[in-house]
Every structure is written in structure tokens, then in C-alpha cells.
């Protein structure tokens, strides 16, 4: 085995340490709540049953969404975005950046690519040797380009992107619910055990207090751990809810996407309701369940039209170029895309009252001469 491969294997092994740590904490919390609290501490049977039923519901949804985020493979660009063999050879032989860009532009004409680099160049990944689709970025940890990449999360040892972003948001929501439920139900016993520990040195334990057993240590630490994780997850969950409402990724929040007409931080914003629909899907019934239901294909995204200023006698007007599944010719949309776009934004009512055809539209600049 080559040294580089050995280092790579060690890195992959070490990357699972945060996941193992989280699972150990969750396993201990399960034992502390079910055994030490519900079985050994709580004496009321009805209270035991109610606590255990609700706890296992929260626990099941938390584990389900967590492992769905872990095992979902990041969606990567298809071979359609790789350079053809002839163009690839020309690109590798060419040393001038300007000539390389001309090669990339020729290939990108047939692709649904509308974002650019900060300098206006075609976004190309030298590592993966492909033209990056919109909102796609290269992950140095996974060593691959990921569609609609948000970030690489060490706590799930996976890239969070188009294929599992819904699972990641649900994981944050259910982990926060899991922690707040534990903290809320443990609080009264935490207070009693804490009072017991403080009075033990000065007087005998009153009969109405809990017995001084080893369960008190689990209950005390369980409350502290649940409260600590809840506070830390709350800020992260609130931030990602804001991102979903704005239809942005973490990368786009720090660096606005650049379109043909310049950067626009709200370029992919479709409105609050449609932004949520793009992540969680059309059917509200599946929003809270860790089952894939996101809209789109990860390659093309509806964008709002960007106004362009007139420049030295020429006026650039926005025309519409319709793309569906990478094809430049307009085709009928599927039900998911129709519901996502809606008639109010991307279609107009015909005069006779019947709805017009709806298409996934992307902005393209068409230059027209001003009339004197």
C-alpha cells in the first residue's frame, strides 16, 4: 500500500470518531432515561408508560433522520458535464487561460449552466475534470463534486447537499426535540436529586425525597447533557431554517452566486413557500418524515430574472431560455415542477381564462440596439 493510500485510510477511519462519539452519547442517554429514570426512579406506572411512549417516538425519529443523513450518498454530476475526449485533450494541451475558457464555453453551450466564477469564467473542476453544474461545489474531504453542496458535516461524516439536505434539517429538528423532551421530563427529578445532594451533609433525607441511589448521577448528568446539546443545536437549526426560507446554501450565504449578469444573493429565491417546497417536496404529508421528497433533479434550478442596466447605447433585455433536464428545447413539465413554479410567477392566464403552458425558465441576455 502506497503511503498516500495509507494516510487516506487513516483519515477515513478518524473521520468516524465524531459519529461514534454521538452514538455513544445517544446510547448512554437511552439507558439513563429508560432504565435509571423510568424504571428505577419513577414509581407511578402511568407516568412511566407515558414517558416511555413519547420518548421512544422522539428517539426513533431522531435515529432515523440521523442515519439517513449519514448513509445517503452525495449526489454527483453525471458524465454529461465531463469534457468530451477531443475537447479534453485540447484543454490539457492549451496553456493560455483565455483559450481554455473558449473550450469550456463551447462545451457549456449545450449544458444547463448559468452560474460563473467571480471573474465571469466557466466553473470548471480540475480535480474531477468536469464543468460544475449550478450550485455544485467540490468537497475536499470527500474528494468529489457534490450537487447543491451545503457543507461537509463531521458529525455525520458526510457531505450535506441535494441528496440529503432534507434529512439533515430533520435530523437537527428531531435531535432538538429529543433533547428538549429529555430536559423537560427530567427537570423535576433533577431538582429533587440536587436538593437531596445539598441536604445530605446537614440533615437526614426526608421521607418525601427520592432515595440516594446511583440513579441520581445519571439523572443529573442527563439533564446537563440534554440542555447543553439543545442550546447548541438550536442556533444551528435556526440558521438552516433561515437558509431554507431564502433558498440558499451555507456556501451561497457567505459567497453570493454569480450569474451571467453578475452576483445575486437572491438569484435562486422563489418566495418563502416555494423555497420550502424545493427542499421538502410538494406533499406536506412527507415533510416531517425522513423519506426523500425534494423537488428537482439537482442540475437545474428555477431562478428569478435579474435586471440589467443599459450600457452605452445598447440595452440588454431579459429573454427566456427554457431548460428541462439539461435540454434547451421546451418540454412539458412534470407535476413536481408545475407545483414548484406555480402559475403566479412563471405563467400568465390566457384571455379566455385557461392557463398557459408552464416551463422551467432561466434568464439569458439578448442584446438589442436602441432605436434612435
The span from the CA of 325 to the CA of 307, in Å, is 25
The span from the CA of 233 to the CA of 104, in Å, is 42
Give the residue among 305, 309, 300 at the shortest CA–CA distance from 334: 300
The span from the CA of 315 to the CA of 317, in Å, is 6
327 phi/psi in degrees, rounded to 5 = -95, 140
Q: Which three cell numbers stand for residue 8?
A: 487516506
Contact between 160 and 70 (Cβ < 8 Å): no
The answer to whether residue 153 is catalytic is yes
Q: Which three cell numbers stand for residue 59?
A: 428517539
Find the angle CA(70)-CA(275)-CA(330) to the nearest 5 degrees: 105
Contact between 202 and 17 (Cβ < 8 Å): no
State whether residue 370 is helix, strand or coil.
coil
Half-sphere exposure at residue 30, Cβ-oriented, CA atoms within 13 angstroms: 14
Q: Which of 145, 153, 159, 361 is catalytic?
A: 153
Contact between 80 and 253 (Cβ < 8 Å): no
Q: Which residues contact 369 (CB under 8 A, 6 or more apart)?
A: 313, 314
Active-site residues, by number, are 153
Amino acid at each position: 500500500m502506497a503511503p498516500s493510500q495509507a494516510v487516506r485510510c487513516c483519515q477515513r477511519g478518524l473521520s468516524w470518531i465524531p459519529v461514534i462519539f454521538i452514538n455513544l452519547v445517544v446510547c448512554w442517554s437511552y439507558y439513563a432515561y429508560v432504565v435509571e429514570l423510568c424504571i428505577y426512579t419513577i414509581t407511578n406506572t402511568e407516568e412511566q408508560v407515558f414517558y416511555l411512549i413519547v420518548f421512544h417516538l422522539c428517539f426513533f425519529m431522531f435515529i432515523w433522520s440521523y442515519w439517513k443523513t449519514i448513509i445517503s450518498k452525495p449526489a454527483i454530476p453525471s458524465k454529461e458535464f465531463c469534457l468530451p475526449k477531443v475537447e479534453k485533450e485540447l484543454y490539457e494541451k492549451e496553456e493560455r487561460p483565455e483559450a481554455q475558457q473558449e473550450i469550456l464555453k463551447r462545451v457549456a453551450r449545450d449544458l444547463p449552466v448559468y452560474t460563473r466564477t467571480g471573474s465571469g469564467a466557466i466553473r470548471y473542476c480540475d480535480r474531477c475534470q468536469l464543468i460544475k453544474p449550478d450550485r455544485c461545489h467540490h468537497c475536499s474531504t470527500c474528494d468529489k463534486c457534490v450537487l447543491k453542496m451545503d457543507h461537509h458535516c463531521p458529525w455525520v461524516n458526510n457531505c450535506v447537499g441535494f441528496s440529503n439536505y432534507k434529512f439533515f434539517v430533520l435530523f437537527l429538528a428531531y435531535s432538538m426535540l429529543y433533547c428538549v423532551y429529555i430536559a423537560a421530563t427530567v427537570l423535576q427529578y433533577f431538582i429533587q436529586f440536587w436538593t437531596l445532594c445539598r441536604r445530605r451533609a446537614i440533615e437526614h433525607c426526608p421521607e418525601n425525597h427520592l432515595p440516594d441511589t446511583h440513579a441520581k448521577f445519571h439523572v443529573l448528568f442527563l439533564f446537563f447533557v440534554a440542555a447543553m446539546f439543545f442550546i447548541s443545536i438550536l442556533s444551528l437549526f435556526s440558521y438552516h431554517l433561515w437558509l431554507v426560507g431564502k433558498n440558499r446554501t451555507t456556501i451561497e450565504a457567505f459567497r453570493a452566486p454569480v450569474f451571467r449578469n453578475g452576483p445575486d444573493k437572491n438569484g435562486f429565491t422563489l418566495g418563502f413557500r416555494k423555497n420550502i417546497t424545493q427542499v421538502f417536496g410538494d406533499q406536506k404529508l412527507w415533510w416531517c418524515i425522513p423519506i426523500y421528497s425534494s423537488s428537482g433533479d439537482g442540475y437545474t434550478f428555477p431562478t428569478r430574472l435579474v435586471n440589467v442596466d443599459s450600457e452605452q447605447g445598447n440595452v440588454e433585455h431579459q429573454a427566456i431560455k427554457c431548460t428541462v433536464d439539461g435540454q434547451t428545447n421546451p418540454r412539458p413539465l412534470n407535476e413536481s415542477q408545475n407545483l414548484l413554479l406555480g402559475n403566479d410567477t412563471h405563467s400568465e392566464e390566457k384571455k379566455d381564462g385557461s392557463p398557459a403552458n408552464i416551463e422551467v425558465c432561466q434568464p439569458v441576455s439578448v442584446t438589442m440596439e436602441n432605436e434612435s
